[in-house]
């Protein structure tokens, strides 16, 4: 078996955390390829090294003195080296970094040093080879990740390498300049490495025991999710559940490699398995609930709308012309509602309204603001009767008015629109009916 293990910033924030990681890696000889993030926060008041690097480089770019901040970053690493009692000095590395900062090597280069240095420490600590992803993880001239070139280079590079540390978050452009992924991008590196070595599992170690059925800021101690499919995850992630970088899914998904989200501070927990498909039933009818506030509904009314060919297209074109993406579009015989992000709409409100009058000559346009959308997601819903009924009776019970309903044709999710102020009550009621009381 071959496993790729990625550790997030909080798992590598201090020597103590490194020791936990070392134990996890040594506990399983299949954990052969290690992808570290930069040191994260040690406590809630701490600053991530990546953020310190961005700040430090901003000073360098303004030609201000950045030496004190760079010294602080160096201290963070020295603390880890000392705590692990390693025979390692990063002094020369910091000299190069200082020189490159002065030469304005770019903020991508600056940020990437967080993972680069942590990778050097990790490789030394584990006694394995260090592999710089700048040589193998490639972006094209436009800065887009070049999956095919990367896969060819990286799989060749790792072909005869039994064990290695490959820092997360960055690669290089065709001209050799360092380029990072978006924030949280070490998750993507882990996935790319897993694909390149044809791993059996991609373990992603973080500070939570996987995905939860609902947001812990709304539900106290929600249950964890044992297994979730990629499609379910997409639905939940889109609506705000975030543990993993969204783009981390694609490389492994294509290769049929499952992701296992694990907790460095509770390695005994099984975490969440993210899989392409499974016969395994969720513990409950639903797999998860997620949601977002801040939507508004634009309702267009016109007699005989249903017989007017091209009506929907003309309406959506107005939104397109104003660069507003729409979320949902419930409709009646003579009404059509377009649900959009409120902040996007507010800026262009009058332009959209006048555009709609021009395009479809409606009888009236009604606006409703401050709506929240809640996604109830579950592969089990398809085979279960009465799921929607249960949701609506639960909501009626707590006096929440449902503004909109949308069940995707895949029967994987039901989206419910409520007022912003009913958001938490609604999630509590849905969680209660499916997970707590299971009526």
Of all residues in the shown chain, the one whose CB is closest to ligand ASP is 186
Cβ at position 48, least distance to ligand ASP in Å: 5
Residues between 396 and 435 with contacts to ligand ASP, criterion CB under 6 A: none
**Beta strands of 125-284 (E only): which ranges?**
129-130, 164-165, 170-172, 178-180, 201-206, 227-229, 259-263, 272-275
Say how far apart CA 39 and CA 33 lie, in whole Å: 19
DSSP 300-319: EE-TTGGGSTTHHHHHHHHH
Only one of the segments 10-18, 143-151, 153-161, 184-192 lies at the binding site for ligand ASP (rule: CB under 6 A); that segment is 184-192
For the chain, how far is it from start to end, CA to CA, in angstroms? 42
Only one of the segments 26-34, 185-193, 228-236, 251-259 lies at the binding site for ligand ASP (rule: CB under 6 A); that segment is 185-193
Cβ at position 184, least distance to ligand ASP in Å: 5
Q: By CB under 6 A, name the one of 10, 172, 186, 337 that touches ligand ASP.
A: 186
Only one of the segments 12-20, 22-30, 179-187, 319-327 lies at the binding site for ligand ASP (rule: CB under 6 A); that segment is 179-187
Tokens of 34: 């290690």
Say how far apart CA 55 and CA 40 lie, in whole Å: 15
Q: Are 90 and 77 in contact (CB under 8 A)?
A: yes
Nearer to ligand ASP, 111 or 415 (CB): 111
Nearer to ligand ASP, 119 or 184 (CB): 184
Binding flags for ligand ASP, 85-124, as an x/- string (CB under 6 A)? -----------------------------x----------
Cβ at position 309, least distance to ligand ASP in Å: 49
Binding flags for ligand ASP, 11-40, as an x/- string (CB under 6 A)? --------------------------xx--
Q: What is the 3-state secondary structure (H, E, C) of 16-28?
A: HHHHHHHHHHHCC
By CB under 6 A, residue 48 contacts ligand ASP: yes
Cβ at position 391, least distance to ligand ASP in Å: 36
Say how far apart CA 168 and CA 161 lie, in whole Å: 18
Helices (H) and strands (E) in the chain, counts: 13, 16
Nearer to ligand ASP, 110 or 429 (CB): 110
Nearer to ligand ASP, 108 or 285 (CB): 108
Cβ at position 217, least distance to ligand ASP in Å: 21
By CB under 6 A, residue 288 contacts ligand ASP: no
Closest by Cα among 96, 114, 236, 99 to 181:
114
Only one of the segments 94-102, 177-185, 264-272, 382-390 lies at the binding site for ligand ASP (rule: CB under 6 A); that segment is 177-185
By CB under 6 A, residue 70 contacts ligand ASP: no
Q: List CB contacts of 310: < 8 A, sequence separation 6 or more.
A: none
Say how far apart CA 164 and CA 34 lie, in whole Å: 6
By CB under 6 A, residue 138 contacts ligand ASP: no
By CB under 6 A, residue 264 contacts ligand ASP: no
Closest by Cα among 122, 261, 247, 245 to 201:
261
Say how far apart CA 108 and CA 419 lie, in whole Å: 41
Tokens of 230: 């990629």
Cβ at position 51, least distance to ligand ASP in Å: 7
Q: By CB under 6 A, name the one of 119, 167, 185, 355 that touches ligand ASP.
A: 185
Residue 156 half-sphere exposure, CB side, CA atoms within 13 Å?
A: 9
CB atoms within 10 A of CB 279: 4
DSSP 74-96: HHHHHHHHHHTT-----HHHHHH
Cβ at position 318, least distance to ligand ASP in Å: 37
By CB under 6 A, residue 50 contacts ligand ASP: yes
By CB under 6 A, residue 168 contacts ligand ASP: yes
**H-only helix segments in 159-279:** 186-196, 230-238, 249-255
Q: By CB under 6 A, name the one of 119, 184, 190, 417 that touches ligand ASP.
A: 184
Nearer to ligand ASP, 184 or 362 (CB): 184
Q: By CB under 6 A, name the one of 102, 183, 254, 313 that touches ligand ASP.
A: 183
By CB under 6 A, residue 10 contacts ligand ASP: no
- Contacts to ligand ASP by CB under 6 A: 9, 37-38, 48, 50, 114, 168-169, 183-187
């Amino acid at each position: 078996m071959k496993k790729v293990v990625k550790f997030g910033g909080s798992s590598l924030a201090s020597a103590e955390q490194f020791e936990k990681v070392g134990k996890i890696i040594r506990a399983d000889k299949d954990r052969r390829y290690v992808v570290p993030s930069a040191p994260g926060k040690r406590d809630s008041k701490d600053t991530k090294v990546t953020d310190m690097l961005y700040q430090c480089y901003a000073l360098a770019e303004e030609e201000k003195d950045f030496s004190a901040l760079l010294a602080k970053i160096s201290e963070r690493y020295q603390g880890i080296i000392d705590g692990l009692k390693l025979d390692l000095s990063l002094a020369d590395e910091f000299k190069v970094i200082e020189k490159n900062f002065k030469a304005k090597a770019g903020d991508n280069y600056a940020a990437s040093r967080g993972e680069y240095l942590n990778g050097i420490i990790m490789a030394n600590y584990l006694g394995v080879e260090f592999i710089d992803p700048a040589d193998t993880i490639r972006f094209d001239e436009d800065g887009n990740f070049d999956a095919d070139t990367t896969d060819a280079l990286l799989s060749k590079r790792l072909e005869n390498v039994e064990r290695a540390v490959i820092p997360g978050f960055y690669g290089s452009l065709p001209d050799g300049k360092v380029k990072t992924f978006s924030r949280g991008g070490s998750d993507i590196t882990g996935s790319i490495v897993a694909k390149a070595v044809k791993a059996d599992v991609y373990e992603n170690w973080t500070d939570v025991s996987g995905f939860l059925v609902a947001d812990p800021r709304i539900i106290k101690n929600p249950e964890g999710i044992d297994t979730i499919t990629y499609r379910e995850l997409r639905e939940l992630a889109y609506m705000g559940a975030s543990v993993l970088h969204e783009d981390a899914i694609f490389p492994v998904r294509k290769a049929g490699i499952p992701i296992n989200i694990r907790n460095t501070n509770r390695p005994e927990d099984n975490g969440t398995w993210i899989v392409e498909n499974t016969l395994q039933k969720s513990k409950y009818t639903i797999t998860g609930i997620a949601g977002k506030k801040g939507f508004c509904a634009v309702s267009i009314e016109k007699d005989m709308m249903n017989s007017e060919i091209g009506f929907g297209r003309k309406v959506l074109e107005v939104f397109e012309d104003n660069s507003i993406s729409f979320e949902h579009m419930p409709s009646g015989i003579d009404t059509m509602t377009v649900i959009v992000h409120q902040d996007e709409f507010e800026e262009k409100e009058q332009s959209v309204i006048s555009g709609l009058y021009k395009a479809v000559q409606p009888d009236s346009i009604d606006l409703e603001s401050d709506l929240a959308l809640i996604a109830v997601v579950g592969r089990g819903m398809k085979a279960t009767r009465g799921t929607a009924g249960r949701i609506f009776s639960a909501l009626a019970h707590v006096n929440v008015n449902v503004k909109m309903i949308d069940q995707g044709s895949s029967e994987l999710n039901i989206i419910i629109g409520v007022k912003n102020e009913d958001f938490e009550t609604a999630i509590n009621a849905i969680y209660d009916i499916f997970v707590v009381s299971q009526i």
